[in-house]
Amino acid sequence: MIIEKVIANIEQMDRDEIGKRHIEKVYLESGDLVKRIQRVTTDHGNELGIRLAEPRDLVAGDVLYMDDKNMIVVDVHSDDLLVIRPRTLMEMGNIAHQLGNRHLPAQFEGDEMLVQYDYLVEELLTQLGIPYAREKRKVKQAFRHIGHSHG
């Protein structure tokens, strides 16, 4: 089966509609969410080809296939993350500036800043005294690196 479009995201679907169907999952690394063309295997051993017609990233919860009885949904493996919890606006600005200088992509959930684990960033957080924790956590979307030069 070749998947060419995402049908919906499970978070926007009616719970009764979801409950009527058996859910099969495709587990991806967060970095694979940006790939428009890939071959994957579901947790039931079924192989799928993904060839998205529109230029978009996959997101955890995306429904790749659905009929009256079944649906195939994207899920994401946990990432090794630094979960940064600045206490003040000054701490947030300081660490955001430092990470921006390193061109590190970040995501935000509530009052937390998430970055992929890097021992140099961990050392920096310790030096600056900014609270953080190293956690395995699922992210909904890929960490996207933004190309930039200081030319």
| Domain residue ranges in the chain | 2-76, 79-137
The DSSP string of the chain is: -EE-S--EEGGGS-HHHHHTSEEEEEEE-GGGGG-SEEEEEBTTS-EEEEE-SS-----TTEEEEE-SSEEEEEEEPPEEEEEE--SSHHHHHHHHHHHHHTT---EEETTEEEEE--HHHHHHHHHHT--EEEEEE--SS----------
Domain 79-137 fold is Alpha-Beta Plaits (3.30.70)
pLDDT for residue 149? 46
Enumerate residue ranges in the chain where pLDDT < 50.
147-150
pLDDT for residue 145? 57
pLDDT for residue 49? 95
User: Is pTM, for the whole model, over 0.85?
Assistant: no
pLDDT for residue 143? 80
CATH of 2-76, one of 3.90.650.10, 2.60.260.20, 3.40.30.10, 3.30.390.50: 2.60.260.20
